Amino acid sequence: MENKTLRLQAIKRIISSEKIASQEQLMQRLQAEGFDLTQATVSRDLKQLQAGKKPDPDKGSVFFITEPELASMSKETIDGRLLLSGIRSVIFANNFGVVKTLPGYASSIAVHIDKHNRFEIIGTIAGDDTILLIPGQNIDHNQMKKALKMIFPELQDHFFRKG
């Protein structure tokens, strides 16, 4: 097996088993395993593997590599699934919805919601772990819930609560 193939396999293994926050950290791990490489090589390898970064409560953001069965899905679907993992609950109070997230996820989830331009949710305001959902005119909780399920198809009923 050639060095590049071994290196790509090592990168997959390391990223899937450890929280790697930077290319430099990954390069150091690979060098510790005996690979002779530069940061540019690590960058090219990550691009070839279609590695991305996702929010992490401990390290800010960490690398991930898309599972093969997800490779055929659209980027939108993959983003939605990754962001869904950061949602803890959705609470409705008065006319508003509040999405509670893991620390660091709120902004990314709010952007994802806003990108869908649903008339039921005219806007969001995000903090670190909380998103305020602003409903459209005459929109009730059930309509907002349906809109969120359209945005995040795998969002289950147990996420939803009344405040």
Regarding whether 49 and 26 lie in a shared domain, the answer is yes
Strand locations in the chain (E): 51-56, 60-65, 87-93, 96-101, 121-126, 130-135, 160-162
Is the pLDDT higher at 96 or at 16?
A: 96
27 lies in which domain range? 3-65
Residue 80 has a pLDDT of 53
Q: Rounded to whole angstroms, what are the CA distances from 68 to 106, 107, 113, 114?
A: 27, 27, 26, 28
Q: What is the C-alpha to C-alpha distance for residues 146 and 88, in angstroms, rounded to an integer? A: 17
Cα–Cα nearest to 76, from 48, 16, 116, 105? 116
Per-residue pLDDT at 99 exceeds 60:
yes
Among 34, 65, 96, where does a domain finish? 65
21 and 86, same domain (yes or no): no
pLDDT tens for 25-71 read 999 999 998 999 999 999 999 988 888 888 888 888 888 886 554 44
Instruction: Tell whether 56 and 128 lie within a shared domain.
Output: no
Can you tell me whether residue 59 is helix, strand or coil? coil
* 3-state secondary structure labels for all residues of 110-121: HHHHHHCCCCCE
Q: 162 lies in a domain? A: no
Alpha-carbon gap, residue 124 to 25, rounded angstroms: 35
pLDDT in the model for residue 58:
84
Domain boundary among 65, 99, 114: 65
Entry pTM: 0.53
Residue-wise pLDDT for 102-113, tens only, equals 888 888 889 889
CB 155 within 8 A of CB 85: no
112-160 per-position pLDDT tens digit: 899 889 999 999 999 999 999 999 999 999 999 999 999 888 788 878 8
- Return the pLDDT at 67: 59
Residue 81: predicted pLDDT: 56
How confident is the model at residue 73, as a pLDDT?
43
